[in-house]
Amino acid sequence: MALRGCWRYTGAAPRLLWNSTVPPVASVPGGRRSASTLDSSQPGYKKLLLRRFTSGPPATHVNYNQLKELLAGGKSVVIDVREPWELREFGAIPGSINIPLGQLNTALQLGPGEFKEKYGGEMPKQTDNIVFSCLAGIRSKKALDAAALLGYKDIRHYPGGWEDWVNNEQQK
């Protein structure tokens, strides 16, 4: 009762949640259930939908075949965020630009001429399709988050990374 009295001062959202039709635990067949397991087909029940909010972009993964198509069509810029010694030792995806993860934030804020001089490729625009890659998908996910904070829209990452690329290339 005390909570109900306090909520009237906090806005409409709590009242909407308070007034939603959620069945009492005792009336749910089978005993105790959480709100997420309620059956909306039962009469008198409304399904409680919860939406998770996040500050980051939705994770958009690209698999090997999708990346091959993007590279073949020239529809995407692939940025490898590994260190230069890793590329020399293990290799790189053909056509990718190497920007170590530690330099990515600064690199994506350079002017186009300075970017090309330092990294040897065209500076991606904020509307370009960009795919981040690394060894196994950890650093590329961090790069995806960093680019999103800088305002890049069409960004993805290749979670398999170089390891997946090599395995798929050797099978062909």
**Which parts of the chain register pLDDT below 50?**
6-40, 42, 44-54, 57
Q: Count Cα neighbours of 35 within 13 Å in the Cβ-side half-sphere.
A: 11
Q: pLDDT tens digits for 4-32?
A: 554 444 444 444 444 444 444 444 444 44
Predicted pLDDT of residue 102: 95
* Residues recognised as catalytic: 134
Predicted pLDDT of residue 60: 81
Q: What is the largest CA-CA distance in the chain?
A: 69
* Closest C-alpha among 133, 75, 64 to residue 104: 133
CA angle 40, 14, 18 (to 5 degrees): 45
State pTM to two decimals. Answer: 0.65
Q: Which two tokens stand for residue 154?
A: 């069409």
Predicted pLDDT of residue 58: 53
Domains assigned to the chain:
2-37 (no CATH), 64-171 (3.40.250.10)
* Closest C-alpha among 89, 103, 169 to residue 135: 89
